[in-house]
Chains A and B, each alone.
Chain A
Amino acid sequence: MTHSLAITNALLADPDGQAVTSGSILIEGDSIIAAGDIAIPLDAEKVDAKGMLVAPGLVDLGVFRTDKPAFKFGGITRAALMPDQSSPLDDVGLIRHATRAGKPDFWVHPLAAATRGLHGAELAEIGMMQAAGARAVSTGRHWIADSGVMLRVLSYASALGLTVIAHAEDGGLTGKAVATAGETATRLGLAAAPACAEAMAIARDIMLARETGAAIHFRLVTTAAGFALIRAAKAEGLRVTCGISPAYLFLSDIAVTDFRTFAHLAPPLRSEDDRQAAIKAVADGTVDVITSSHDPRGPEDKRLPFADASPGMAGAETLLTLSLNLVRNGHLTMNALMTLLCANPAKILGVKAGRFAPGYAADIIFIDSETPWIVDSARMEAAAGNTPFDKVPVQGRVRRIMKGGQFL
């Protein structure tokens, strides 16, 4: 008989549940056997959660670096690695290497580059990369400008059962822009693009998704117009999903005032109206995924004039704690939040994780949801401390992580 383990006295934040309930989780090997108000076998090893919030490990759909200390701090047990690496993930060998990078305590699900070298022209060997462990296809940081190429990427990936993860910014409109057109960019004299660059890109790709029947996930959607298109596509029954990162929920373009390069993101931070629309889109179910978009960047990339600095933020450590604000502010239930952080991203990647259902991976985190702490860019676990949330007080911290049935 296999050894079984039971987490008892837990407050279960089950993505499939309606409310947080007291209960237990029974684990055998690396999988969950049962969860909820269940009978615990007498011979099971028991771990007392002492009433702490217990959730599935976070599945982070779209990180730019495998940064285990930051993921551990943030309760992330699986992450989808963006193909934008020093050598783009457009090759079987690179995918195979990336899948092994975090095991056993952390799993990386590499995203296959949609096109060779991410140049947006020729199809990459998507099928072979899938066989090597790629879980989805991604256009990377950039939009594929050629609509014909995008059409072929979508139809090809669809036949393989893979979702295409797209970047939603019309490259012609964005050009060299580093900010959203508006008062802040105008005052600072920064090259800016209108926010509709996002909706333009989404509108085209939704049409191509309709044409091909393919599944498409817009990694970061940040504008009211973008959410409106996603909402309509979902109502139509298209296989369209979208994500967001906490920065767009809690910051607007005012954060780049004083040329703060830690707030230089891609897509750029939006107006306050768009930020409000983003909160609404999370609350009404338009948004499917919350991702850290973790992209640690050191001073060589960030201590530069704003336009020369690389975009991106170290977000893994603050993903959960910032997202908990959505529950505190009444926009989401705890269960719904875990759907966005765990169940939905896992579903898009086609991995049996992110839920408490039988047969799912025993990736589990214990959350002390009330403990206050202050984000400090100088003292981060991440490879770099480029967070626009520096010195922001937050609440909630991961206390224990189980990956594949083993506590780390």
Chain B
Amino acid sequence: MPQQTRETIPTGLIGREQFPHRHLLAISALMPWEISFLLDEAEHWVSVNRAHSRKHDDRLGGLTQINAFFENSTRTLLSFEIAGKRLGADVVNMHAAQSSVKKGETLIDTAMTLNAMRADVIVIRHGSSGAVRLIAEKVDCPVLNAGDGWHEHPTQGLLDALTIRRRKGGISGLVVAICGDVLHSRVARSNILCLGALGAQVRVIAPPTLMPAAIDQMSVTPYTDMNAGLDGADVVMMLRLQNERMDGAFIPSPREYHMLYGLTPERLAKAKPDALVMHPGPMNRGVEISSIVADHPERSAITEQVEMGVAVRMACLDVLTRRARGVEGWA
């Protein structure tokens, strides 16, 4: 049951009015009900994925989906590839390591090339904030941001929201603590915006060296003391700490980080008894999260997040290609 809050879709919206965007570049561009719309669409795919061993739905049959990944990724790439294939699209992956990007071709030229190949939807990950938007301005088909620098990772925000909504029955009013390297995290930014739009009270917990300036302006409460930040939380979302930040540049050592900011069973006890534990993966076990917490059968939603990822990406691919496919009300 959708709650009667501001994320409820205004009555009377039909077809394209429910999601009037050509691309999915950032959660910041979405209205709360547009986020809810995508989550509702994703619910359908969760059921489909669970119901059948044959998961094909060929609504994207004949369409070409290019996954252009300028930054290494295993999980997100795989998730988008599976999502596209389950919808029947011809999915092609382009890895930066194999591409002419390394030969000095500009991003714009790469975008023009992808466009000339008549892709019907392009999924892009790039290491530089704003890069995906730059490409989107130059191509004729919908673009899905699979992560740009430290800026946003909108499908991660959506899949986390879906996971929480399913587990908790709603998002409005929940206390969500996002912990870790918030400064360099696009996952954190998309989640702050997504969960905030859906009415959650978002807290961020980070060492001062990994806390972005003026983060409170994004309607979150910052904490540098993890115990205080976890107090009474309904959801504890851990962020991955990149290896290169652990060597003294931002924090003194992995073990000190674990001591101060690692999610251990003792720390988790500060949160609500039924608090949900999340992590976008891949995890550094023993650094930001201990294995006991990560593998906890009731509390951890980490594998469920991966499952929701496929469903959310199927929903996004479906919705964004409706116009091109001439779906009634969307053309």
Once the chains bind, are B218 and A188 in contact (CB under 8 Å)? no
Encode A279-311 as 1/0 by CB contact (under 8 A) with B: 000000000000000000001100111111000
Known: A183-B218, A304-B106, A304-B107. A188 touches B129 (CB 8 A): yes
Judge whether A189 is part of the interface by a CB distance below 8 angstroms.
yes
Alpha-carbon gap, A191 to B130, bound state (A): 12
Once the chains bind, are B128 and A305 in contact (CB under 8 Å)? yes
Q: Which residues of B contact A192 (CB under 8 A)?
A: 212-213
Judge whether B217 is part of the interface by a CB distance below 8 angstroms.
yes
Known: A304-B106, A307-B149. A189 touches B134 (CB 8 A): no
Partner of A304, one of B134, B215, B218: B134
Judge whether B313 is part of the interface by a CB distance below 8 angstroms.
no
Alpha-carbon gap, A184 to B214, bound state (A): 9
Encode B108-131 as 1/0 by CB contact (under 8 A) with A: 100000000000000000101111
* Nearest A residue (CB) for B133: A259
Judge whether A161 is part of the interface by a CB distance below 8 angstroms.
no
* Nearest B residue (CB) for A192: B213
- Best-buried of B28, B131, B186, B215 by chain A (most CB within 10 Å): B131
Once the chains bind, are A189 and B213 in contact (CB under 8 Å)? no
Once the chains bind, are B150 and A183 in contact (CB under 8 Å)? no
* A296-328 residues at the B interface, CB under 8 angstroms: 299-300, 303-308
Once the chains bind, are A181 and B213 in contact (CB under 8 Å)? yes
Question: B260 to chain A: closest CB distance in Å?
Answer: 22
Alpha-carbon gap, A307 to B127, bound state (A): 10
Once the chains bind, are B130 and A188 in contact (CB under 8 Å)? yes
Q: Which residues of B contact A258 (CB under 8 A)?
A: 133
Once the chains bind, are B150 and A305 in contact (CB under 8 Å)? no
* B127-147 residues at the A interface, CB under 8 angstroms: 128-131, 133-134
Q: Which residues of B contact A191 (CB under 8 A)?
A: 150
Known: A305-B129, A306-B129. A189 touches B150 (CB 8 A): yes
Question: A257 to chain B: closest CB distance in Å?
Answer: 10
Once the chains bind, are A307 and B128 in contact (CB under 8 Å)? yes
Alpha-carbon gap, A308 to B213, bound state (A): 22
Judge whether B152 is part of the interface by a CB distance below 8 angstroms.
yes
Alpha-carbon gap, A192 to B129, bound state (A): 12
Once the chains bind, are B214 and A181 in contact (CB under 8 Å)? yes
Once the chains bind, are B149 and A187 in contact (CB under 8 Å)? no
Once the chains bind, are A308 and B214 in contact (CB under 8 Å)? no
Encode B200-213 as 1/0 by CB contact (under 8 A) with A: 00000000000011
Partner of B107, one of A183, A305, A307: A305
Question: A119 to chain B: closest CB distance in Å?
Answer: 24
Alpha-carbon gap, A306 to B129, bound state (A): 7
Number of A-B contacts (CB under 8 A): 70
Once the chains bind, are A305 and B215 in contact (CB under 8 Å)? no
Question: B139 to chain A: closest CB distance in Å?
Answer: 14
Once the chains bind, are B108 and A303 in contact (CB under 8 Å)? yes
Alpha-carbon gap, A186 to B185, bound state (A): 10
Alpha-carbon gap, A52 to B151, bound state (A): 51
Question: A270 to chain B: closest CB distance in Å?
Answer: 13
Judge whether A350 is part of the interface by a CB distance below 8 angstroms.
no
Judge whether A277 is part of the interface by a CB distance below 8 angstroms.
no
Alpha-carbon gap, A191 to B213, bound state (A): 11
Once the chains bind, are B218 and A305 in contact (CB under 8 Å)? no
Judge whether B189 is part of the interface by a CB distance below 8 angstroms.
yes
Question: A142 to chain B: closest CB distance in Å?
Answer: 22
Q: Which residues of B contact A185 (CB under 8 A)?
A: 212-213
Alpha-carbon gap, A59 to B30, bound state (A): 48
Once the chains bind, are B213 and A182 in contact (CB under 8 Å)? yes
* Nearest A residue (CB) for B212: A186
* Nearest B residue (CB) for A299: B108
Encode B213-226 as 1/0 by CB contact (under 8 A) with A: 11101100000000
Once the chains bind, are A182 and B134 in contact (CB under 8 Å)? no
Known: A181-B213, A194-B213, A259-B134. A189 touches B107 (CB 8 A): no
Known: A190-B150, A307-B149. A183 touches B214 (CB 8 A): yes
Once the chains bind, are A300 and B106 in contact (CB under 8 Å)? yes
Alpha-carbon gap, A308 to B189, bound state (A): 21
Known: A303-B108, A305-B107. A186 touches B213 (CB 8 A): yes
Question: B138 to chain A: closest CB distance in Å?
Answer: 9
* Nearest A residue (CB) for B215: A186
Once the chains bind, are B149 and A186 in contact (CB under 8 Å)? no
Q: Which residues of B contact A181 (CB under 8 A)?
A: 212-214
Q: Which residues of A contact B130 (CB under 8 A)?
A: 188, 190, 259, 305-307
Q: Which residues of A contact B218 (CB under 8 A)?
A: 183, 186-187
Alpha-carbon gap, A206 to B92, bound state (A): 59
Alpha-carbon gap, A182 to B215, bound state (A): 8
Q: Which residues of A contact B108 (CB under 8 A)?
A: 299, 303
Alpha-carbon gap, A342 to B283, bound state (A): 61
Once the chains bind, are B149 and A305 in contact (CB under 8 Å)? yes
Partner of B129, one of A182, A183, A189: A189
Q: Which residues of A contact B215 (CB under 8 A)?
A: 186
Q: Which residues of A contact B28 (CB under 8 A)?
A: 187
Q: Which residues of A contact B151 (CB under 8 A)?
A: 188-190
Once the chains bind, are B128 and A308 in contact (CB under 8 Å)? yes
Encode A231-268 as 1/0 by CB contact (under 8 A) with B: 00000000000000000000000000011000000000
Q: Which residues of A contact B212 (CB under 8 A)?
A: 181, 185-186, 192
Nearest 10 CB-CB pairs, A to B? Answer: A189-B150, A259-B130, A305-B128, A189-B151, A181-B213, A305-B131, A183-B217, A186-B212, A189-B129, A183-B214
User: Can you give 23 contacting A-B residue pairs, CB < 8 Å?
Assistant: A181-B212, A181-B214, A183-B213, A185-B212, A188-B130, A189-B189, A190-B129, A190-B130, A192-B213, A259-B133, A300-B106, A303-B108, A304-B134, A305-B107, A305-B126, A305-B128, A305-B129, A305-B148, A306-B129, A306-B130, A307-B130, A307-B149, A308-B128
Given contacts A305-B126, A305-B149, 15 further A-B contacts (CB under 8 A): A181-B213, A182-B214, A188-B129, A189-B149, A190-B129, A190-B150, A259-B130, A259-B133, A259-B134, A299-B108, A300-B106, A304-B106, A304-B107, A305-B129, A305-B134
Enumerate chain A interface residues (CB-CB to B < 8 A): 181-183, 185-192, 194, 258-259, 299-300, 303-308
